[in-house]
Structure 1
């Protein structure tokens, strides 16, 4: 059981509603960004299919790099959108704003900069040091 499970909620319903609205707005922005990137990727594919005559290795390499960049962008947007989905579910569970590692509250400043944060600065730094 988490330490904060037995403590009264830290934020008011109005604060939770404001956080929820902010998270949902950012999720919607990411969804629109994803749809736009998918459309651009499809246009890129159509251009590639219709414009391969006379391609040399450099042209093929450039097209391959553009395709990989577009796919990377799509994955990044989906990952960020998933982070906001997770933040919304944590808000519903009452665990939003608490570190998933140590269960301490995440600094408000950190949440303002990165609303989908799931770890406090200390746990994040520890995890990054271990990965290096």
Structure 2
């Protein structure tokens, strides 16, 4: 991803709209030796880093497709909401379906945001570091949950609040 700026160096309207005016990591994957591991864990191999990147890329593509499908379904539901016999049960059913599609789309957007952030962290070499305490999250945890941003200890503290 390249930072969006005008020829004079000012952020573009798109950059201002998205809030991404600071430096954005280049489209690369960190060297395996750059990624954090917990004491006693084997370092990341180039193959493991490549697999993590590929899995994140596949997830981004899947989520974008899911969001498009939800938005299309919502557009159809909104278009059809004005039509009908006026039956309250039918109207209620359509409302429930619309709320369900809105929830699915919202969840997919949140997961997409987390996944894109993981891709950025992988490129920047901060993938696998806890965003709260700065300690390594753990290679096994990152392989099981590639979007993880907190170590187990910090995640447990967060959930207790």
Same fold (TM over 0.5): yes
User: Which whole-Å CA distance do the structure 1 matches of 2:59 and 2:98 have between them?
Assistant: 26
Over 6 Å off, 4+ runs: none
Deviation at 1:59, TM superposition (A): 3.3
Q: 1:26 aligns with which of 59, 68, 87?
A: 59
Distance 2:111 2:104 in 1: 11
Give RMSD over aligned pairs: 1.8
Match of 1:55 among 87, 90, 97: 87
> 2:116 is paired with a residue of what secondary structure?
helix
Alpha-carbon contact 2:60-2:116 (below 8 Å) kept: yes
Q: Does residue 129 of structure 1 match 2:151? A: no
**What's the offset of the Cα at 1:114?**
1.5
* 2:34 corresponds to 1:9: yes
* 1:85 to 2:110 alignment: no
- Equivalenced residues, count: 121
Task: Write the deviation string for residues 43-85 of structure 1: whole angstroms up to 9, x where unpaired.
Answer: 222332322x2322x4333322221111111100000000001
TM-score by length of 1: 0.80
> What is the CA-CA distance between 1:113 and the residue it aligns to?
2.4
Structure 2 contact 70–101 (Cα < 8 Å) conserved: yes
Offset of residue 99 of structure 1: 0.8
Query: In the alignment, does 2:124 pair up with 1:99?
Result: no
Summarize deviations over 1:1-55 as a string: whole Å, max 9, x none: xxxxxxx62435544333222111111111111111112222222332322x232
Residue in 1 that maps onto 2:143: 112
